[in-house]
């Protein structure tokens, strides 16, 4: 990842308007008492042609003041959607169906084309109340925003498909929350995502028995988001694409040691990008029972249960698609999930280990040996991958659990050398809960943003070493 990438052209889009009224409600943003820019992702901005400084005829230059207008006050972006749209969706929350949700504190307010010609949504979190807020205030805590920036930066560096945090603006309100010392500070976050179409978007249409809208949504997702030409079985093609992408995401979560925390169907994007970060944590060691959310009493979304949770979620998409297609071909695709997940997890583990794949069977054997050794040794996950990157395991008592891995690795070649200065640091860059809390404490106690910005820079540098 280059630090100063050549900016893309600014190419606004409005594709979402073609879906039509049943998919969203036009809403107004909240007006906030203050707008203090805390995080401006110039790297992500450049990929949609938004630049600081002068820019060129093809780009959209935004001063910090103009940035606050667009991403804190939600002045429409030139050429894109005229008014914010709160999206309608349902979802299974901890496996109970809830028809009473939707964008309760966010909306999509712009679309653009990225530097690889793909459609992107600019969506929000904490931008005010909507028809779906129920009893909620429509707001985001500043701590929640800081946590989302850290999660997305780390996941991007670890090669996990994720939404990207585009902007974080502190908004000067006092919020009351059960899970933070209150009153607590407020913020509005803008995220970039290749879509905000969730499994729950399909579930809502099935619930409404709206086959016409379902056909339109299938076409939108296949053509605009998956970049495919619809054939004779678009709903099956779409399902196949989503199963593959979600299986890959689950495999990448595992290799990253990431626990999302709330894998409800309304949080699962049909592009297979992870998004909507609440109580996330990275697992310090390979403990399949490690749980992120304090309210996940049964460990439904624990570290090692995430692949099963994702399988269950795509099954709900199959159920919804029954509105427009018969069951047997959906079941056939659904059954490919475990195999596709295992393949993706092995690829992701090898990637993080810094070795080139050989063949699927050998790679799976190496991945299995590796996860077994990590689980039995209790070696910190980040330490293991830091020491072993490139496929060379140190000798010593700490490494006896890894003898099988060592034997299998003798066939493997590094995919990248260790010449980047990151590998001379002595310790890995990680982002475990203690450090997240320390970064937040500096902000909460002293309004000191240095540890936060230093961490983002350190994560990006690790991303360069791994890329
Ligand atoms: P989440 O758990 O963040 O995916 O949200 C689940 C549902 O609750 C969605 O419909 C959200 O929009 C809604 N929601 C969560 N927090 C708030 C809030 N502070 N105000 C309004 N709606 C919220
Ligand atoms: Mg959500």
Query: What is the arithmetic mean of pLDDT over 90-114?
Result: 98
Closest-approaching ligand to the CA atom of 98: 1
pLDDT tens-digit readout, 149-174:
999 999 999 999 999 999 999 999 99
Q: What's the mean pLDDT when you consider all of the chain? A: 97
Give the pLDDT confidence score for residue 158 in this predicted structure. Answer: 98
Residue 55 in this model has a pLDDT that exceeds 80: no
Tell me which residues have their CB within 5 A of the ion that is ligand 2: 267, 276
Q: Nearest C-alpha to atom 4 of ligand 1 is from which residue?
A: 267
Residue with tokens 């997702």: 221
The model's pTM is 0.97
Tell me the pLDDT band of 216, cut-offs 50, 70 and 90. very high
Instruction: Tell whether ligand 1 has an atom less than 6 A from the beta carbon of residue 102.
Output: yes
Q: Nearest C-alpha to atom 7 of ligand 1 is from which residue?
A: 101
CA distance 281 to 428: 17
Q: Nearest C-alpha to atom 13 of ligand 1 is from which residue?
A: 104
Query: What is the arithmetic mean of pLDDT over 64-68?
Result: 97
Percentage of residues of the chain with pLDDT beyond 90: 97
Q: Which long-range contacts (CB under 8 A, 24 or more apart) does 371-379 make?
A: 371/254, 371/286, 372/404, 373/401, 373/402, 373/404, 373/405, 374/285, 374/286, 375/286, 375/287, 375/288, 376/401, 377/401, 377/402, 378/285, 378/286, 379/285
Instruction: Tell whether ligand 1 has an atom less than 6 A from the beta carbon of residue 143.
Output: no
CA distance 91 to 201: 8
* Residues carrying an active site annotation: 266
CA distance 467 to 451: 24
Give the pLDDT confidence score for residue 2 in this predicted structure. Answer: 43
pLDDT tens-digit readout, 106-153:
999 999 999 899 999 999 999 999 999 999 999 999 999 999 999 999
Tell me the pLDDT band of 57, cut-offs 50, 70 and 90. confident
Instruction: Tell whether ligand 1 has an atom less than 6 A from the beta carbon of residue 103.
Output: yes
The torsion angles phi and psi of 191, rounded to 5 degrees, stand at -120, 150
Give the pLDDT confidence score for residue 4 in this predicted structure. Answer: 55
Give the pLDDT confidence score for residue 56 in this predicted structure. Answer: 81
Instruction: Tell whether ligand 1 has an atom less than 6 A from the beta carbon of residue 126.
Output: no
Query: What is the arithmetic mean of pLDDT over 287-306?
Result: 97
Query: What is the arithmetic mean of pLDDT over 46-69?
Result: 93
């Amino acid at each position: 990842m280059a630090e100063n990438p050549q900016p893309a052209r600014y190419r606004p889009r409005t594709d979402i308007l073609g879906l039509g009224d049943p998919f969203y409600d036009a809403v107004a943003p909240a007006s906030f008492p203050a707008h203090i820019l805390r995080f401006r992702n110039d790297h992500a901005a450049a990929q949609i042609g938004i630049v600081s400084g002068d820019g060129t005829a093809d780009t959209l230059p935004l001063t910090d003041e103009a940035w606050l207008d667009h991403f804190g006050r939600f002045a429409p972006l030139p050429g894109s959607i005229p008014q914010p749209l709160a999206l309608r969706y349902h979802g299974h929350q901890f496996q109970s169906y809830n028809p009473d949700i939707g964008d309760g504190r966010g909306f999509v307010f712009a679309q653009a084309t990225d530097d690889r010609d793909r459609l992107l949504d600019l969506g929000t979190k904490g931008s005010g109340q909507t028809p779906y807020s129920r009893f909620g205030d429509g707001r985001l805590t500043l701590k929640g925003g800081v946590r989302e920036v850290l999660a997305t930066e780390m996941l991007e560096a670890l090669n996990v498909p994720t939404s990207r945090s585009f902007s974080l603006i502190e908004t000067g309100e006092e919020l009351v929350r059960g899970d933070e010392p209150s009153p607590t500070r407020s913020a509005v976050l803008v995220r970039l995502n290749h879509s905000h179409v969730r499994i729950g978007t399909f579930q809502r249409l099935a619930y409404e028995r709206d086959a016409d809208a379902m056909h339109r949504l299938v076409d939108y997702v296949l053509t605009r988001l998956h970049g495919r030409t619809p054939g004779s079985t678009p709903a099956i093609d779409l399902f196949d694409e989503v199963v593959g992408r979600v299986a890959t995401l689950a495999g990448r979560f595992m290799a990253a040691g990431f626990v999302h925390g709330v894998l409800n169907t309304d949080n699962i994007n049909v592009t297979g990008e992870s998004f909507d970060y609440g109580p996330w944590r990275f697992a310090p060691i390979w403990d399949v029972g490690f749980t992120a959310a304090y309210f996940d009493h049964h460990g439904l979304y624990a570290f090692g249960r995430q692949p099963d949770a994702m399988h269950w979620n795509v099954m709900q998409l199959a159920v919804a698609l029954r509105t427009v297609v018969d069951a047997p071909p959906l079941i056939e695709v659904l059954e490919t999930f475990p195999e596709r997940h295992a393949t993706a997890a092995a690829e992701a583990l090898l990637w993080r280990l810094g070795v080139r794949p050989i063949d699927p069977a050998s790679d799976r054997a190496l991945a299995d040996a590796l996860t077994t050794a990590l689980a039995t040794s209790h070696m910190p996950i980040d330490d293991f991958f830091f020491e072993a990157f490139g496929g060379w395991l140190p000798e010593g008592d700490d490494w006896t659990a890894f003898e099988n891995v060592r034997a299998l690795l003798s066939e493997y070649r590094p995919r990248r050398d260790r010449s980047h200065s990151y590998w001379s640091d002595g310790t890995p860059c990680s982002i475990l809960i203690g450090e997240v809390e320390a970064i937040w404490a500096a902000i909460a106690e002293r309004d000191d943003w240095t540890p936060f910005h230093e961490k983002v820079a350190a994560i990006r540098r690790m991303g360069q070493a791994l890329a």
